[in-house]
Structure 1
Amino acid sequence: MKDKIRRILDLIRAGRLTLDDAAPLLAALHTRLALQITDRELLAALLNREELTTDQIAEQLMLLRGVPDAPNAAQSPRPPQPPRPPYPPQPPQPPRRPQVVIGGQRVRGLEDLVERFAERFTGGIDEMVDRITQQAVPHEPVPPEPHMPRASARILRIEIESGGGDEYSANLPVSLAAHLPKLIPPHGVRALEAAGLSIEALQLIIEADPPPGPLIDSEDSSGNEIRISLK
């Protein structure tokens, strides 16, 4: 064994082998000669020392790794172990009673079985009664949302221009609609009638309480224009 290791070390020192090439050769000689990285660094340092011979380095390597001089010395065989006594046979288990499972839970005895059926039966009835009661109870009516009072018009805006040259423009309170014949001058009445609208018709429109906005905006071929709106 030592002589074979020395030959491999001679090849490394002569430069014919590298440590990487020699590692599998040493491991083939003995499993304990499988070199790790630290082992290779130590072996390289020893080989660089010229005062050490490869025979000395091989001897130190074998001592460090615990390798005997004989290749893969056989280990002493283990003494035969006495046979173990067989395990004693286990007594037969008594037969188990049949088990009843309701709702994922095991029933223990006849009384527990009766209680489980009673709970499931009465519980289903109670749930049905509660559901019917909830459906039968009338819901309180929701009060309607209060409607906002509509804003009433307060001003009657009249703009009239007839083809004959009569013009009339006024802002009159709506509350005085019953007195329009007295509030509109004669030339305004003529302009209104020339446009095809009478004071009585205008009063009927105002009594209908329309929302604020334009009421009449028209112009005929004779040049009569009339614009009436509420504000």
Structure 2
Amino acid sequence: MRELLKGNIRLVITYWVFGVIPEIIYNGIGKVIEKYYFQLATTSHMEWFFYLYLIFPFIYFPLIYVAIWRSSNKYKGRRLWRWLAKLAVIPGAVLLIVKAVLLANLFFRASLSDKIKMEVTQLKKGLPSKIDSDTEIYAISFDNKTITYSYRLLKADKSEVDLNYFNENIKPELIKEICSDKDLSRYVKQGIIFSAIYDDKNGAELGRASVKPGDCK
């Protein structure tokens, strides 16, 4: 790594192996995250993976840009390749700075509602998504401090469901699910309402429940 940062590694290796290929892999991981965002976001302890994914380019690529620049200065081949390598570094560095500013605004200046709206927008991209063999979440929305999840019970038929029993039990289960999650319970304590709508396999509503501030003790 020391030799790399000093620019002592050949430019073609520094640029392609340590610059272009890692960026392609990073962008590919981003596409996978976008496609399976709901499944990943609802998996415990995945928040650390997201944090690592977000901060990685701000740690890795500045070092590689320095390495490419220094390696370009020591390049003995055609001057064109030296300047092309440097020209690739400049927009990359500018884009990284812009991303850093946007990320800082997101974490430190955006309101809670703005953060939730962005989160919901990402979650929508992965819907519909199966939670298990019996349940599918097909919609999510955020309006007036209420996050609404719409579920479809894939094997249930409204005509065969005891609706009174169903509605008596869905709120305690929803409270347990929301309040046992550290991030979701924090939202509830900040005034956010979680609402869930349950439909049968044909789209007929079976019931709905909400978790409001005060439900999470």
Which TM-score band (shorter chain)?
A: under 0.3
User: For the pair shown, which has the larger CA radius of gyration, 1 or 2?
Assistant: 1
Normalised by the length of structure 2, the TM-score is 0.19
More helix by share: 2
Normalised by the length of structure 1, the TM-score is 0.18
